[in-house]
Amino acid sequence: MTTELKNDTLIRALLRQPVDRTPVWIMRQAGRYLPEYLKIRTEAGSFMNLCQTPELACEVTMQPLRRFKLDAAILFSDILTIPDVMGMNLYFEEGKGPKFANPITSSSDIHKLPRPDVGESLAYVMDAVSMVRRELDGKVPLIGFSGSPWTLFTYMIEGGSSKTFSKSKKLIYQEPALAHMLLAKLADTVTDYLNLQIESGAQIIQIFDTWGGVLCARAFKEFSLRYLTRIVSGLKRENEGRRVPTILFCKACNTQLEALADTGCDALGVDWTISLREARERVGSRVALQGNLDPAVLLADPETIHREVNHTLTSFGKAQGHVFNLGHGITPDVKPEHLGALINSVWELSPAFH
Amino acid sequence: MTTELKNDTLIRALLRQPVDRTPVWIMRQAGRYLPEYLKIRTEAGSFMNLCQTPELACEVTMQPLRRFKLDAAILFSDILTIPDVMGMNLYFEEGKGPKFANPITSSSDIHKLPRPDVGESLAYVMDAVSMVRRELDGKVPLIGFSGSPWTLFTYMIEGGSSKTFSKSKKLIYQEPALAHMLLAKLADTVTDYLNLQIESGAQIIQIFDTWGGVLCARAFKEFSLRYLTRIVSGLKRENEGRRVPTILFCKACNTQLEALADTGCDALGVDWTISLREARERVGSRVALQGNLDPAVLLADPETIHREVNHTLTSFGKAQGHVFNLGHGITPDVKPEHLGALINSVWELSPAFH
């Protein structure tokens, strides 16, 4: 397992060490914008089957690396594997997002949720991690990930996606003790899950708090940030003789950047609603920053993409600790050659910033 | 028309003058959470008929004031009346949001859009304003409003609501000159529209930039903020011998508070993702702040609502220039008596902060 890592640019940038150019990877780089992904997705029958079959998850993880000069692979999986193995039984209805066969309908359902043995129930994830590491053979590092406790909580309490998050919010405001009980259980499970991914070969960890931004500032600190801090402090920080950097990506949480930088993580993912210059001024050199091009820029022509990549690099400026990425996942309507144009622009323009 | 204003608490607070208690009004206070609204909405047949019939618009505007001790009325209308009279012909499909009978499908469609004579085509809005003023008889001030140029632009270019705003973003990135032409036309039309509302009797103006927050920081300044500034500087600032305060409400734009305070407006609407304390530290005493309780709090019990109202008042602290409101519109699933609990709490708790 401890093969030499031939390209450690991303790990170095996440640890604010000098690099020759700005490393780049893309959230949802293995995804629906790739025709080869759509083919394997159709063959797999269901999305869950794709996640749960290590050979397929591994193949999908590798697909974007065959097309593009990316500085990392990210494990193909879903953030809702944890509620699934807590007994809620996840499934996907075409065009309707995630659903649970056993939804939560009462307080007593929440009390009954077990803390799952993820080593056993999510062994398929660990198998996929090991398989991707073998396949990568040290070419680039592998990123493991999980959803944040608050984000998992919203899907579990709402029974799927939501626009208003009314059930989750009603619960935290009216029954905070019950909410904390579930969030604590989720935080401990996520910690187990990520440590197992690290032991299986994940070399970088990203935690996605997709829905932290729907909370008011005070509730964010109490119901999301507290559990992010608990996870970061419980993570294995070194493996195979190398630091395992942790990235927190909290969408629409830009008013919380300072607090997030204080969790002990190595890097913050930043969405496009704040300039990297301002974000850097606010967090200083405590953490690296990852982002933050608006994914919609990839719908424009390659010339526009080149110009916007340059704006993003210029906004961060000449300093250590920038990882190029989008401010959110790549969307299915992007042409793969447009992503190619973005990655080529980062390779071409970024050396001047180092 | 120039009747005495018996309750000027809101106007005083917006101008950062001393008040005895914190004034309160609620975004979408005339809306679907009220059974009496639903009744008149059904009788009107279509939503557009409700907006376009001054007697009905006036009646709906007055409804919440009969139930609650509110410090303002806000004109009942829709932000998309302007694209409607630019020839796009607005209609609503049940559960699908706004649509246009004549959508924009090409650059030449954009070039052809006229600058409408809103005094003529939106005379029904001015009639409703005059009628509400007569009905109010100086009890509380009347708020007039418009959508911001960028927000109107997104609906016009997307052809309705959107999750990704891909068409609007592709246009600003790839054809910025064309986008600016339309935005400038919208800004001038909005200025005309709001000045006519003021002349017809609106005593406070609020501009809603509902979708400014989907833009990256740089694009927000270029494609939204620039036109907000243009409108504010073109507004009639006094009428009936009294200052007409202007409120800018830009949802999910908290990284832009300082820039928004520099537009020359009197107050900023703030959503719930930033604490009022932090917002106040950032904008100082340049502007008043309006907000910012999470509308989801109204789904909890009255005791919880009382506690959260107190948190909001405490977060702003003992200072001039706070207007109590939600951080976004009230949602249809709220029980009217819960809004009553909120308003009573503001009346009960806020004198201690003055």
ipTM for this model: 0.93
Residue B1 falls inside a structural domain? no
Which of B28, B221, B255, B274 is the mutation pick for testing A, counting most A CBs within 10 A? B255
Residue A83 pLDDT exceeds 80: yes
Residue B95 pLDDT exceeds 80: no
Tell me: the pLDDT tens digits for A158-172?
A: 999 999 999 999 999
The range of the structural domain enclosing residue B170 comes to 9-353
Q: Quickly state the pLDDT bin for A2 (edges 50, 70, 90).
A: low
Calculate how close chain B gets to A25, using CA atoms only, in Å.
20
HEC string of chain B equals CCCCCCCCHHHHHHCCCCCCCCCECCCCCCCCCCHHHHHHHHHHCCHHHHHHCHHHHHHHHHHHHHHCCCCCEECCCCCCHHHHHHHHCEEEECCCEEEECCCCCCHHHHHHCCCCCHHHHCHHHHHHHHHHHHHHCCCCCEEEEEECHHHHHHHHHHCCCCCCCHHHHHHHHHCHHHHHHHHHHHHHHHHHHHHHHHHHCCCEEEEEECCHHHCCHHHHHHHHHHHHHHHHHHCCCEECCEECCEEEEECCCHHHHHHHHCCCCCEEECCCCCCHHHHHHHHCCCCEEEEEECHHHHHCCHHHHHHHHHHHHHHHCCCCCEEEEECCCCCCCCCHHHHHHHHHHHHHHHHHHC
Tell me: the pLDDT tens digits for A320-334?
A: 999 999 999 999 999
Cα–Cα dist B294/B342, whole Å: 12
Q: What is the pLDDT of residue A249?
A: 98
HEC string of A11-40 equals HHHHCCCCCCCCCECCCCCCCCCCHHHHHH
Contact B218 A275 (CB under 8 A): yes
Tell me: the pLDDT tens digits for A289-319?
A: 999 999 999 999 999 999 999 999 999 999 9
Residue B130 falls inside a structural domain? yes
Out of A166, A293, A315, closest to residue B296 by CB:
A166
Residue A55 pLDDT exceeds 70: yes
Note whether A2 and A241 are within 8 A (CB).
yes
Residue B57 falls inside a structural domain? yes
Own/partner contacts of B111-118, CB < 8 Å, gap of 24 or more, are: B111/B178, B111/B181, B113/B86, B113/B87, B113/B88, B113/B182, B113/B185, B114/B86, B114/B87, B115/B185, B115/B188, B115/B189, B116/B82, B116/B85, B116/B86, B116/B87, B116/B189, B118/B82, B118/B85, B118/B189, B118/B192, B118/B193, B118/B196
Mean pLDDT of A102-120: 96
Q: Quickly state the pLDDT bin for B2 (edges 50, 70, 90).
A: low
Q: Quickly state the pLDDT bin for A96 (edges 50, 70, 90).
A: confident
Residue B3 falls inside a structural domain? no
User: Which residue of chain B has the CA closest to A176?
Assistant: B304
Q: What is the pLDDT of residue A279?
A: 97
Q: What is the pLDDT of residue A71?
A: 98
Domain of residue A115, CATH code: 3.20.20.210
Residue B142 pLDDT exceeds 90: yes
Q: Kindly list the catalytic residues of A.
A: 28, 32, 41, 78, 155
Tell me: the pLDDT tens digits for A23-42?
A: 999 999 999 999 999 999 99
Write down the mean pLDDT value for chain A: 96
Grouping H, G, I as helix, E, B as strand and the rest as coil, residue A312 is: helix
Measured CB to CB, residues of chain A less than 8 Å from chain B are 164-166, 169-170, 173-174, 213, 215-220, 252-255, 272-275, 278, 292-294, 296-297, 299-301, 304, 308, 311, 315, 327, 331, 333
Residue A178 falls inside a structural domain? yes
Contact A174 B300 (CB under 8 A): yes
* Neighbour-count burial of B337, counting CB atoms closer than 10 A to its CB (0-12 exposed, 13-18 middle, 19+ buried): exposed
| pLDDT-wise least confident of A89-93, A219-223, B24-28, B131-135 | A89-93
Residue A258 falls inside a structural domain? yes
Out of B164, B216, B253, closest to residue A331 by CB:
B164
Residue B59 falls inside a structural domain? yes
Contact B331 A166 (CB under 8 A): yes
Per the structure, the count of domains in chain A is 1
Tell me: the pLDDT tens digits for A340-353?
A: 999 999 999 999 99
**Alpha helix ranges (H) inside A21-122:** 35-44, 47-52, 54-67, 81-83, 107-112, 118-121
Instruction: Quote the tokens at residue A184.
Output: 């604590």
- Find chain A residues with C-beta within 8 A of B311's C-beta: 218
Alpha-carbon distances, residue A116 vs A81, A111, B145 (angstroms): 11, 14, 53
Contact B294 A218 (CB under 8 A): no
Mean pLDDT of A50-55: 97
Measured CB to CB, residues of chain B less than 8 Å from chain A are 164-166, 169-170, 173-174, 213, 215-220, 252-255, 272-275, 278, 292-294, 296-297, 299-301, 304, 308, 311, 315, 327, 331, 333
A146: CB partners within 8 A, 6+ apart: A79, A82, A190, A193, A194, A197, A205, A207, A208
Cα–Cα dist B175/B286, whole Å: 35
Q: What is the pLDDT of residue B218?
A: 95
Residue B283 pLDDT exceeds 80: yes
Q: Kindly list the catalytic residues of B.
A: 28, 32, 41, 78, 155
Residue B93 pLDDT exceeds 90: no
Residue A217 falls inside a structural domain? yes
B281: CB partners within 8 A, 6+ apart: none
Backbone torsions φ then ψ of A190, nearest 5 degrees: -60, -40
Tell me: the pLDDT tens digits for A220-256?
A: 999 999 999 999 999 999 999 999 999 999 999 999 9
User: Which residue of chain B has the CA closest to A271?
Assistant: B216
Mean pLDDT of B49-71: 98
Residue A3 pLDDT exceeds 80: no
Contact B174 A304 (CB under 8 A): yes
- Find chain B residues with C-beta within 8 A of A164's C-beta: 296, 331
Residue A1 pLDDT exceeds 60: no
